[in-house]
Amino acid sequence: MNIPQDLKYAPSHEWAKQEGSKVRVGITDHAQHEITDVVHVELPAVGKKIKKGQPCAVVESVKAAFDIYAPVSGTVVEINTKLENSPELVNQASYSDGFFFVIEASDTSELNTLMSPADYAKTLQA
């Protein structure tokens, strides 16, 4: 499994990348592999306030829907509009073009509560 070193990870398989006061969010390679073919992504509206640990997006595979939880609290400032017509980007490039949204974090120190790459890797082995 691909687990980039420069990201933080939530136990619910989202990744978070700090970009100044902003946090970019997507799902991990492991998650996209488990979900298989992503056929639809329901994203929050830009401007929506979201709270760490709350469901804020939905990923649909052929067979099932999966909730995506906010890794940090804040306001959604950008969503990946490419996913509307190309949801398969989540499978093809889960850490880059397949990102979900960017949050203006209310408190970037919340990132410290997320897992390191090594700790996330351990949860996958368990």
Partner 1 sequence: MTIRTPLYDEHVKLKARFVEFGGWEMPVMYSTIMSEHHAVRTKCGMFDASHMGEFVLSGKNCVAFLDMMVVGNMSTLLPGQARYTLVLNDNGGIIDDLIVYRRENDFLLVVNAGNIDKDFGWLMQHKPVDVFLENISANVSLIALQGPNSQAVLQHMIKDRLENLNYFNFFKPTFTNINPSFCLLARTGYTGEDGFEIFISNNEAVALWQALLASGVKPCGLGARDTLRLEACMPLHGHEINDDITPLEASLGWAIFWDKQFIGREAIWHQHIHGLGTYLTAISTESGVPRQGYDIIIQGKAIGTITSGTFSPTLKKGIALGYTNSKLTVGTALQVLINDNLKDAIVVQRPFYRRKT
User: Which residues bind to partner 1, rule: CB under 8 A?
Assistant: 36-37, 39-40, 42, 58, 60-65
Q: Considering the complex, what minimum distance in angstroms separates the CB of residue 100 from partner 1?
A: 14
- Considering only CA atoms, which of 126, 123, 104, 106 is closest in space to residue 14? 123
Enter the tokens of residue 31. Answer: 């998650």
Distance CA 19, CA 1 (A): 24
Q: Which is nearer to partner 1, 63 or 109 (CB)?
A: 63
- Minimum distance from CB of 79 to partner 1 (Å)? 15
In sequence order, what are the residues at sequence separation of 6 or more whose Cβ sits closer than 8 angstroms to the Cβ of residue 63? 36
Q: Nearest distance from residue 64's CB to partner 1, in Å? A: 8
Least spacing, CB of residue 55 vs partner 1, in Å: 9
Task: Closer to partner 1 by CB, 25 or 105: give it.
Answer: 25
Query: Would you say 64 or 109 has its CB closer to partner 1?
Result: 64
Closest to partner 1 by CB, 64 vs 126, is 64
Q: Where are the alpha helices (DSSP H) in the chain?
A: 29-35, 82-85, 89-92, 117-125
CA distance 37 to 86: 11
